[in-house]
Structure 1
Amino acid sequence: MYTPPAFREDRPEVLLRLMHQSRLPLLVSNGANGLPDVTHLPLLTDGTRIVGHLARANPHWKALREAGCAIAIFPGPEGYVSPSSYPSKAEHHRVVPTWNYEAVHAHGPIEIIEDAGRLHEIVSTLTDHHEKPRAARWKVDDAPADFIAGQLKGIVGVVLTIEALIGKRKLSQNRPAADRDGALEDVGQHNAALADAMRAAREGN
């Protein structure tokens, strides 16, 4: 990922926060004929490893096993920024549109999990995480054991050990302060998530 100095993010706590906030990451690896294999799937991380699972019918898991390594991409808020939002437009008109966004790439070796016990742990961890905001939380063990056992046969787990993290937060940091304020005000009218990210970056968070 191309990361100019103004947009590069290296703080581990910020990278972990962005990964936790990402809604639907992508798992990418080398595939056949030089083309990449890509799967969208929910992933969880503790900062040292990333866990998730794929459908057994998805051939990507076999390519992952063969490749032995992968990249997990965690996209964040993104959106268009109009040059009309910059006060400098009225001064000299030397402005152009851009696209603001956040993203984290995690690189490392990947392990394929077929053991039923470890698969149960992975799906339980994912489920508990996403059920946490709900008042009535569903748990994997709420379903009949034989039903869950059958469902586990239809998936394979993945565990990526993080060896490198690359973070990018392109949030107008390269613009003068007045332009950043103008962009934030304009974006805030139609893209609250991106505005929150821009505000956090301006405050050094």
Structure 2
Amino acid sequence: MISLPQDRSRGLPALAALAAGLGFIALQMIAMSIAGGVFEYPLDDVYIHLAMAESIAAGEYGINPSEPASAASSILYPFLLAPLSGSEVQRFLPLVINFAAILAVGWFWGMALVEAGLRGGAGILFALLGPVALNVPGVGFTGMEHSLHTATALALVIGLWRFLNGGPVGWLLIAGAVLGPLLRLEG
């Protein structure tokens, strides 16, 4: 027989990640239905990142060959898109990365709820509604680096919270502080 832990708040990260993931899938399905089964990103900026990634894979940095330029809003994101450059699969890489990122955002949101001491019905309610109310699926839907940046910001907040409450300088604090500005210059 499987026994559940007395403190069910430990399941809040998974519940919040599930809410974010299902919201993201629902948005993608609705958009594809409206577009007649065709997948496209709602912003042209994603295609700029993909073009930057192709340039990086070719050993250059910019949109036009032999014209170095920083056309992206992120230092790191085009590099994350570069490995599959030149293939049709690359076009879907922002979708996959953003799905993983919104799951991470949901997970970190749930961790923040646990750290804040939310329990019972209030914890479950905030875990389910928080990602949707904060438009986490919509941010991921854009295909941009914003979901990754949100995940690093939440990691930073949780890591800082733990440190200020007597914990060590943990990996969440370090990862959030290092990756945040690499994903968004404003980070």
Tell me the TM-score normalised to structure 1 length.
Answer: 0.26
Question: Larger % of strand: which?
Answer: 1
Bigger proportion of residues as helix: 2
**TM-score between the two structures when normalised by the length of structure 2:** 0.28
Larger CA Rg, structure 1 vs 2:
1
